[in-house]
Chains A and B, each alone.
Chain A
Amino acid sequence: MKSIEFFIAYRFLKEGKAQSLFIFGGAAVGVAVIVFLTSLIMGLQSSIIDQTLGNQADIFVEPPTQEESSPIYQPQPNEVVFSRVEPRPQRVEDIDRWEQLIDDITADPDVTNVSPVVTGSSVAPRGPVTNPVQLFGVDPPRYQQIIDIEGRLLRGEFAVGNNGAVIGYELAQELDVDVGDRFRILDTLGVSRSFLVRGVFDLGFGTPNQTWIFLGIRDAQTMLDMGANINRIDVNVIDLFDADQVSARLSGRTEMEVSSWQEVNADLLLALRTQSASTFLIAFFVALSVALGIASVLIVTVVQKRGQVGVLRAMGASMRTVLRVFLIQGAAVGLIGSIFGTILGTGLAMGFNRLFRDPEGEIIFPIEPSVEIFIGACLLATFTGLLAAVAPARRAARLDPAEAIKNA
């Protein structure tokens, strides 16, 4: 491309001042909407993912599940069966020789942290009321690398073992206990044991705060009747979005059932993907209307400039040069419009962050304008402008010079 083509394009845009301002404005507003919307959705999605993974390892390694045995008697739909169902003690599959397994997993280059977990459900009685709870036997220094518990303690410390327990704050309210108080948990045989509350946490939402109890590994093994075994290994990886691949690799190397956070949260991810798709659709239609706007203004410009185009041709400018002059105008509108548009869109996002807060004044979810969105928007808009200019540019290039000069 020749530099004179840029110069002519620049002067043509400059000559049609009001008109140029309108298309630049239109492109900027379109890009601003796209940037704002994309930042909003990306911010929302990454905060949902953060929240989900804030309470969850990237990968779970568990023993293979065994077939659920079918009940002996299958009642007909209209049949009333009186029976006393003896609650089967929670069956906990165990991981034998787990120290070896942990070493194997740790050896994977993409794995950053590994933590053994003993988990199972139980109940914590308080008077006549029983609260369902989920026990987690962990080694705090190792588990802290998987989920930040210390950072979310309201009171006390993340210390377990020797009948120490760290529990969710809503459960603490339910049991009417606090740091230093004792409460009871039933083991698999229904015998209760007393634990000392060493810390109270707030993990941000419902279930963990209402049901989670952290114990020492040994205490949990005793409560769940697991001997010296564990039944889950939590793994974190370097890149969150590689969890799927690492999970597949680990599952090939061990006989365990390995699931990544993507698999565990398949429904959530599907919902997020659907949301992304609809965002994309909106962005597409905004871009389309911007493109149509640019095209229509450029068509008018071609008509207005036909005299000058004819003269340029008479002076030795080729059809190609004329074509490019108008293509450059389209691309320039897209590029410059998008620069202002991203600034405007980011401003909107900042304003949104400032205005919409929850009652405690916290940002509901951060909108994150990123360099990627900037560059993406600029490239997209430049390309859109270029595309929009194709029809007008061809029209300009095909102007018959003699006609153009006569009718100018």
Chain B
Amino acid sequence: MPEPILELKAITRDFGNGVIVNVLKGIDLTIESGEFTAMIGPSGSGKSTLLNIMGLLDQPTSGELLIQGNPTVELEDSDITKLRGQTLGFIFQAHHLLTAFSALENVMMPAGVRRGSFSKSIRSRAEDLLDNVGLADHMHKNVRNLSGGQQQRVAVARALANKPELVLADEPTGNLDTKNADIVFELLQRINDETGTAFMIVTHEERLANRCERIIRMLDGRISEHSPSTE
């Protein structure tokens, strides 16, 4: 059996100095390649915090995080950056596109910053990705001039730019109406089918969570339910 993409062991995360808040209270979780997982839970239960730690955007207070079997604590910034660029893709709730750039440039950027410059192959891959999310006609627009649904699809295309093993999506459909939410969600499912990229999708909507292979329920900094159960 291949290494899991990502393993969390007894992860905790405290915030604040003085009054300390235990936001994550011991998380154990394993993500295998190709899994399509939903994370659901009330607001403030620590979903985004956990996702940031999984994405190496934040450091846990204690516990261990392995990526493809490699421990990540005490890694240099440059190594973390490299690991993140190679294995992970991100889709944020507020889509967080780079407003100074066009849709195409946003999708080219992950490969661009990794390589140090844009190239023909980066460009043609970005064009394919945008085509794949149905934005072939809007590639050269500044992202500010796109609708919310279009922006989120640019974010999906961008998350896939480096061919990541795992895409971490924090409420990718949170700002969208039902119709657009379905379009984006189905897009993610299709990519998962076609490329075998694993997804971890944070959502508030049971309706969408129930369409995932696996559901993790967060409650007050702990995983309260895991279905199908791993035990």
Are B113 and A15 closer than 8 Å at their CB atoms? no
How many angstroms from the CA of A145 to the CA of B90 in the assembled complex? 80
Q: Looking at chain B, what size class is its interface with the partner chain? A: 20 to 34
Q: Say yes or no: is A107 at the interface (Cβ < 8 Å to chain B).
A: no
Interface of A is mostly: helix
Report A315 CB to chain B, min CB distance, Å. 4
> Are B117 and A315 within 8 A (Cβ)?
no
CB contact list, B62-111 vs A, under 8 A: 77-78, 81-82, 84-85, 90, 92, 94, 96-101, 109-110
The stretch among B16-24, B50-58, B194-202, B207-215 that forms the contact with chain A is B50-58
**Residue A47 lies at the interface, judged by CB distance under 8 Å to chain B:** no
List of B residues within 8 angstroms of A310 by Cβ: 57, 96
A312 near B98 with CB under 8 A, answer yes
Known: A308-B99, A315-B85, A315-B110. A4 touches B58 (CB 8 A): no
Binds B, one of A98-106, A192-200, A335-343, A398-406: A398-406
List, in ascending order, chain B residues with CB within 8 A of A8's CB. Answer: 100
Asked whether B26 is an interface residue with its Cβ less than 8 Å from the other chain, the reply is: no
B116 sits at the interface (CB 8 A)? yes
A307 CB–B CB distance under 8 Å = yes
Flag whether A12 is at the interface (Cβ < 8 A).
yes
Quick one: CB contact mask for A375-408 with B, threshold 8 Å, 1 for yes?
0000000000000000000000000111001101
Q: Is A229 positioned at the interface, with any CB of B under 8 Å from its CB?
A: no
> Is B12 part of the contact surface with A, judged by Cβ < 8 Å?
no
**CA separation between A2 and B114, bound complex, in Å?**
10
Assess whether B81 is in contact with A2, with CB atoms less than 8 Å apart. Answer: no
When distances are taken between beta carbons in the complex, the residues of chain A under 8 Å from B153 are: none
A405 and B81: CB pair below 8 A?
no
Does B77 contact A319, Cβ atoms closer than 8 Å? yes
Knowing A313-B81, A402-B52, say if A308 contacts B98 (CB, 8 Å).
yes
Question: Contacts A15-B100, A402-B52, A402-B58 hold; do A2 and B117 have CB atoms under 8 A apart?
Answer: yes
> For residue B85, which residues in chain A have a CB less than 8 angstroms away from its CB?
315-316
* Interface residue? B118 (CB, 8 A): yes
Interface string of B163-189 (1 = CB under 8 A from A): 000000000000000000000000000
Does A211 sit at the interface, judged by CB under 8 A? no
Q: Does B158 count as interface, using CB distance less than 8 angstroms?
A: yes
Q: How far is the CB of B101 from chain A (nearest CB, A)?
A: 6
Docked pose: A405 CA to B90 CA in angstroms: 11
- Is A314 within 8 A of B84, CB to CB? yes
How many A-B Cβ pairs are below 8 Å?
A: 78
Report whether A311 and B98 are in contact in the complex, using a CB–CB cutoff of 8 Å: yes
Shortest distance between the CB of A314 and any CB in chain B (Å): 5
For the complex, give the distance between the alpha carbons of A295 and B77 in Å. Answer: 26
Q: Which residues of the partner chain B approach A14 to less than 8 Å between Cβ atoms?
A: 100
Which chain B residue has the least Cβ–Cβ distance from A13?
B100
List the A side residues contacting B78 at CB < 8 Å: 318-320
Of the candidates B100, B109, B118, the one whose C-beta lies within 8 Å of that of A315 is B109
Residues of A within 8 A of B94 (CB): 408
Closest residue of chain A to B55 (Cβ to Cβ) is A314
Smallest CB separation, A327 vs chain B (Å): 16
Q: A315-B109, A406-B48 are in contact. Are A4 and B158 (CB under 8 A)?
A: no
- B113 engages A312 (CB within 8 Å): yes
Decide: A321 near B117, CB < 8 A? Known: A308-B99, A316-B85: no
User: Which A-chain residue is minimally distant from B109 (CB atoms)?
Assistant: A315
Interface size on A, as a range, is 20 to 34
A4-B112 contact in complex given A14-B100, A315-B85, C-beta closer than 8 Å: yes
Question: Is A315 a contact partner of B116 (Cβ separation < 8 A)?
Answer: no
A339 to B181, CA, bound (A): 51
B74: shortest Cβ distance to chain A, in Å?
16
B57: which of A2, A317, A321, A401 is its contact (CB, 8 Å)?
Answer: A401
Given A314-B84, A318-B81; A11-B100 close (CB under 8 Å): yes
Contact B92 A2, beta carbon cutoff 8 Å? no
- Tell me whether A78 is interfacial, beta carbon within 8 Å: no
Tell me the smallest distance from the CB of A1 to a CB of chain B, in Å: 9
Which residue, B57, B101, B110, B116, has most C-beta atoms of chain A within 10 A? Answer: B57
Check: B152 CB closer than 8 A to any chain A CB: no
Does A70 belong to the interface (CB within 8 Å)?
no
Q: How far is the CA of A8 from the CA of B85 in the complex (A)?
A: 18
The answer on a CB contact under 8 Å between B57 and A402 is: yes
Q: Which residues from A are CB-within-8-Å of B77? A: 318-319
Bound: A305/B77 CA distance, A: 21
Per-residue B-contact encoding for A287-324, CB less than 8 Å = 1, 0 else:
00000000000000000010110111111111111000
Q: Which residue of A lies closest to B77 (CB)?
A: A319
Residues of chain A in range 1-25 having any CB-CB distance to chain B below 8 Å: 2-4, 7-8, 11-12, 14-15
| A400 proximity list for chain B (CB < 8 A) | 58
Q: A317's contact among B90, B97, B113, B161, by CB below 8 Å, is which? A: B113
Which A residues lie within 8 Å of B150 (CB)?
none
CA distance A28 to B40 in the complex (A): 55
Cβ distance B17 to chain A, nearest Cβ, rounded Å: 15
Residues of A within 8 A of B116 (CB): 2-4
Residues in B with CB closer than 8 Å to A308 are 98-100
**A11 and B101 form a contact (CB under 8 A):** yes
Bound: A7/B116 CA distance, A: 10
Residues of B near A321 (CB, < 8 A) are: 113
Selected A-B contacts with CB under 8 Å, 16 pairs: A4-B112, A4-B115, A8-B100, A308-B99, A312-B98, A312-B109, A314-B84, A314-B90, A315-B110, A316-B84, A316-B113, A317-B81, A318-B113, A400-B58, A402-B58, A408-B94
8 smallest CB-CB distances across A and B, nearest first, come from A316-B85, A2-B116, A15-B100, A11-B100, A402-B58, A317-B113, A3-B117, A315-B110
If A316-B113, A316-B114 are given as contacts, then 6 extra A-B residue pairs at C-beta distance below 8 Å, sorted by A number, are A8-B100, A313-B57, A316-B162, A317-B81, A318-B81, A405-B96
